[in-house]
Amino acid sequence: MKKAIIYLIFILIPIVNNARIKEFDHGKELYDDFFSVPQLAETGLSKDVFLMALKGLNKLNTEGKLLNPDLVTIADYSQSSTCKRLYVIDLKNKKLLFNTYVAHGRNTGDEYAESFSNEEGSFKSSLGFYITEKPIVGSHTGFALLIKGVEKGFNDHASKREIIIHAAEYATEKFIKKYGRLGRSLGCPVLPPDMNKAIIEIIKGGTCLFVYNPDKKYISSSSLLN
């Protein structure tokens, strides 16, 4: 009898552990469900980018690196900085929680993000997957969120570079109207001040952030996409 119980436990453990993972195995189905909700298809987030985000999230989740795999944040740097190109998505409830502006690095480009780096002092954005950590209050940035880059060679120097999510007045519609584009950061993904705290409170503590651009080197070399 004891042997039978032990055997049953060993059978059930993988099933329980894989239950969460299987929710994200069918990216296309989840995408179709998500975008069947009225108006979400008009936000500018493409199917390919969404599926890439799910693929990386799924791998991070199978490795046990995410505390909350129900959320994904996508900064789509293929779009103009005049577009609301940051998306916070509730995968469990199939809802778009936030869609707003996000600035890129000073040396990454003007209106469009074109050049990326993992190097300290580059003042460029870094592509790839990150895991959100805890909020902090910076002396210059105010309320901000620590993020950990998990892709070697692409964003794993993010902590050393002090790349964080924070707010600035140059990441606003008012700035766009005046200058024709968002302002630029020292490499951080920067949000509008009126959205910053609300977004950070939702995505903090072990969720997935995907910073995307159709950069050929990144797309072909990312360990989480290949």
Taking a C-beta distance cutoff of 8 angstroms, is the pair 76, 44 a contact? yes
Do the bridges between strand 190-191 and strand 164-167 make them parallel or antiparallel, or are there none, so unpaired? parallel
Residue 226 lies in a domain: no
Closest of 183, 102, 113 to residue 145, by C-alpha: 102
What letter represents residue 26's amino acid? H
pTM of the model: 0.86
Nearest to 223 by CA among 163, 120, 153: 153
End-to-end CA distance of the chain: 45
Phi-psi map region of 7: left, alpha, beta (phi>0 left; psi -120 to 50 alpha): alpha
pLDDT in tens, 96-135: 999 999 999 999 999 999 999 999 999 999 999 999 999 9
The CATH number for 58's domain is 2.40.440.10
Domain total for the chain? Answer: 1
Which of 31-40, 59-68, 115-124, 184-193 is the least confident region? 31-40
For tokens 């552990």, name the residue: 17
Q: Give CA–CA dist 54/25, Å, rounded.
A: 8
User: Residue 211's domain spans which residues?
Assistant: 2-221
pLDDT per position as a tens digit, 141-200: 999 999 999 999 999 999 999 999 999 999 999 999 999 999 999 999 999 999 999 999
